Chains A and B, each alone.
Chain A
Amino acid sequence: MKIQPKTLLTSAAGFLVAVAAWQLVATGPMAGGPLPTVTSVAVNLAAVVVTEAFWTSLATTVGIALLGLLTSAVAGIALGILVGSFEPFRYATVAVLEFLKPIPPIVILPLVVLVLGPTGQMSWFLVFLGCLLPIIMQTVDGVHDADPVARDTARSYGLKEPEILLRVVLPSAMPFIGTAIRVAAPGALIITVVAGLLGGGPGLGQSIYQAQAGGDYPTLYALVIVLGVLGMFFQGATSAVERRMLHWHESFREAAHR
Chain B
Amino acid sequence: MNRKLLLWLLGAGTPVLLLLLWWATSLQSTDTFFPPLKDILQSFQQLWLFAHFQSDVLVSLGNLLLGYAMASAVGVALGFVIALVLVARNVLEPLIHFLRSIPPVALVPIFISLVGFGTEMRVFSIALAALFPTLIATVDGIRSVDSGLKDVARVYRFTTVEKVTQVYLPSAAPQIFSGLQVSLQVAFVVMIASEMLGPSQGIGAMTLLAQQSFMISDMWAGILLLGVIGFAANIVFSLIRRRVLAWYIGSRRLARSS
| Chain B contacts for A88, CB-based, 8 A | 7, 10
Chain A interface residue count, CB cutoff 8 Å, equals 58
A171-209, CB < 8 A from B? 186, 189-190, 193-194, 197-198, 205, 208-209
Query: How far, in angstroms, from A229 to B233 measured CA to CA in the complex?
Result: 31
Q: Tell whether A228 pairs with B193 under 8 Å between CB atoms, given A11-B91, A110-B211.
A: no
| Chain A contacts for B10, CB-based, 8 A | 88, 91-92
| Chain B contacts for A106, CB-based, 8 A | 105, 189, 192-193
Instruction: Let me know if B199 is at the binding interface, CB within 8 A.
Output: no
Instruction: Let me know if A14 is at the binding interface, CB within 8 A.
Output: yes
Contact A7 B90 (CB under 8 A): yes
Query: How far, in angstroms, from A131 to B100 measured CA to CA in the complex?
Result: 19
A231-257, CB < 8 A from B? 231-232, 234-235
> Which among B15, B108, B197, B227 is the interface contact of A96 at CB below 8 angstroms?
B15
- Sorting the interface of chain B by its residue count into under 10, 10 to 19, 20 to 34 or 35 or more gives 35 or more
Contact A102 B234 (CB under 8 A): yes
Q: Tell whether A111 pairs with B33 under 8 Å between CB atoms, given A11-B91, A92-B10, A197-B197.
A: yes
Q: Give the Cβ gap from B31 to chain A, nearest Cβ, in Å.
A: 10
Interface string of B91-118 (1 = CB under 8 A from A): 1111101111111111111101110000
Instruction: Let me know if A221 is at the binding interface, CB within 8 A.
Output: yes
Q: Which residue of A lies closest to B98 (CB)?
A: A228
Q: Which residue of A lies closest to B87 (CB)?
A: A10
| Chain A contacts for B114, CB-based, 8 A | 34-35
| Chain B contacts for A209, CB-based, 8 A | 109
| Chain A contacts for B11, CB-based, 8 A | 91-92, 94-95
Q: Give the Cβ gap from B256 to chain A, nearest Cβ, in Å.
A: 11
Query: How far, in angstroms, from A108 to B207 measured CA to CA in the complex?
Result: 10
Instruction: Let me know if A62 is at the binding interface, CB within 8 A.
Output: no
Contact B94 A232 (CB under 8 A): no
Contact B231 A99 (CB under 8 A): yes
| Chain A contacts for B207, CB-based, 8 A | 110
> Which among A93, A103, A208 is the interface contact of B230 at CB below 8 angstroms?
A103
Instruction: Let me know if A47 is at the binding interface, CB within 8 A.
Output: no
Query: How far, in angstroms, from A102 to B188 measured CA to CA in the complex?
Result: 10
Interface string of B216-250 (1 = CB under 8 A from A): 10011011001100110110000000000000000
Instruction: Let me know if A104 is at the binding interface, CB within 8 A.
Output: yes
Query: How far, in angstroms, from A234 to B103 measured CA to CA in the complex?
Result: 12
Q: Tell whether A104 pairs with B185 under 8 Å between CB atoms, given A14-B91, A99-B231, A194-B105.
A: yes
Query: How far, in angstroms, from A34 to B111 measured CA to CA in the complex?
Result: 10
Contact B103 A189 (CB under 8 A): yes
Q: 17 extra interchain contacts, Cβ-Cβ under 8 A, other than A102-B230, A107-B226, A220-B109?
A: A7-B90, A35-B113, A35-B114, A91-B8, A91-B11, A92-B11, A95-B14, A101-B234, A103-B231, A111-B211, A194-B105, A197-B193, A197-B197, A220-B113, A221-B110, A224-B102, A227-B102
- Give me 17 A-to-B residue pairs in the complex whose CB atoms sit less than 8 angstroms apart, sorted by A's number: A15-B95, A91-B8, A92-B10, A95-B11, A104-B185, A104-B230, A111-B223, A114-B33, A114-B211, A189-B103, A197-B106, A197-B108, A197-B197, A224-B102, A224-B107, A224-B109, A227-B106
Residues of B participating in the A interface, judged by any CB pair closer than 8 Å: 7-8, 10-12, 14-15, 18, 33, 87, 90-95, 97-110, 112-114, 185, 188-189, 192-193, 196-197, 207-208, 210-211, 216, 219-220, 222-223, 226-227, 230-231, 233-234
